Amino acid sequence: MRSLWLTLFLIPLLVLASGCKRRNRNSGQTLRASTVFAGDPGVESHFAKGFYGVESGAWRWTSKDFAVDLSPPRHSEQNGAQLVVKLAVPDAVIQKLGSVQLSSSIQGANLAPETYSKPGSYTYTRDVPADKLQNDTVRVEFALDHTLGPTDTDRRQLGIIVSQVGLVAK
């Protein structure tokens, strides 16, 4: 009786565990996550370009041009998805630049830009068409119209602060 109970308990766990990772049909590598948190050291490879190191265990500065590699969520190849970016525009950026415009594109499709003229926390959300989510991994490209620096004390080109980037199923 105990082995029956154990079997009934373990089979659903194994099924759930096998669904947590999908394999890339082309390379045999585990697919990337559909949402990444900037402070998570396990997702470093998702930040493809233009991100600086983790700060305060939770966020990263960006440069003028930056990119993230993500795995589209399930069924997004039919239904599309939403790009969701949790970001902050520091007061120093607004004081020095007046405003900053964030643009994005995915698989060659330009998504509507957003201009930030006040410091604060924001969520940049854009619909992504299903036809741009057909691959196992997609690169989301971002660009800012201008950035801070570099300066004598900080050689980085500083744009905005990002804490999370993801593709969310509709």
Token pair for 47 = 């930040």
How far apart are the C-alpha atoms of 119 and 160, rounded to whole Å?
10
The domain that contains 111 carries what CATH number? Answer: 2.60.120.260
* Tally of domains in the chain: 1
How far apart are the C-alpha atoms of 104 and 143, rounded to whole Å?
6
**Residue 95 domain flag:** yes
Structural domain of 81: 31-169
CA-based nearest residue to 66, from 158, 169, 166, 167: 158
In order along its 170 residues, the chain shows pLDDT tens digits of 444 343 344 344 333 333 443 333 333 344 469 999 999 989 999 999 999 999 999 999 999 999 999 999 999 999 999 999 999 999 999 999 999 999 999 999 999 999 999 999 999 999 999 999 999 999 999 999 999 988 888 999 999 999 999 999 99
Amino acid at 6: L
**Residue 19 domain flag:** no
Contacts of 51 (CB under 8 A, 6+ apart): 38, 60, 61, 62, 63, 66, 162
